[in-house]
Amino acid sequence: MNELKLAVLGSRGAGKSALTVRFLTRRFIGEYASNSECIYTKHLCLDGRQMHMEIYDPCSQPRQGKLSLTDELHWADGFVIVYDISNRASFAFAKALLYRIRDSHLAACKRVVESAVFLVGNKQDLCHMREVGWDEGQKLAMDNKCQFCELSAAEHCQEVVTMFTKVLRTITTN
């Protein structure tokens, strides 16, 4: 059985847990009370193959200010980087995370694993409070050779499933 390890990263409140729980349970949990980091496990069938998946969600992002990410970078096969489109600071944090991932791949002389990183602009339902344009997200993703989408963990179920499936499929085909 193939094993897939995915880390969901982003600033506190961006919606990491909401997205992860949406994918795993198809439900939106408005207030997900967890202050400790979690690794969720799930068996899934992807393109006819049985997979064992682990998703790391740091929940409260205790090391918010530190971008060493050394453990996560060694552990994960792929990343979902989440920001909140109604919060510019969360976009700046996502950008710093992407640079850190890219630099670590370059330092390790690894081929930059294109598209095994997915940049997600969450809370699209709050577009009336938007602080980050769709084109800014798209450009950041293109500059860092990763996939991009905007969605809402609160309102979109299928889009969340599709996004996770795409990044998992990218990992398995690399």
Nearer Cβ to ligand GDP, position 95 or 123? 123
- Give SS3 for 106: helix
Q: In the complex, what is the shortest distance from the CB of residue 69 to ligand GDP, in angstroms, rounded to a whole number? A: 16
Q: How far apart are the first and last CA of the chain?
A: 16
Q: In the complex, what is the shortest distance from the CB of residue 28 to ligand GDP, in angstroms, rounded to a whole number? A: 7
Interface with ligand GDP by CB under 6 A: which residues?
Answer: 10, 12-18, 30-32, 59, 122-123, 125-126, 152-154
What pairing do the DSSP bridges indicate for beta strands 147-150 and 117-122? parallel
Q: In the complex, what is the shortest distance from the CB of residue 18 to ligand GDP, in angstroms, rounded to a whole number? A: 3
Nearer Cβ to ligand GDP, position 31 or 135? 31
Q: In the complex, what is the shortest distance from the CB of residue 118 to ligand GDP, in angstroms, rounded to a whole number? A: 15
Nearer Cβ to ligand GDP, position 36 or 173? 36
Q: Which two tokens stand for residue 162?
A: 């599709």
Instruction: Classify burial at 166, counting beta carbons within 10 Å of its beta carbon; exposed 0-12, middle 13-18, buried 19 or more.
Output: middle
Nearest-angstrom CA–CA distance, 35 and 38: 9
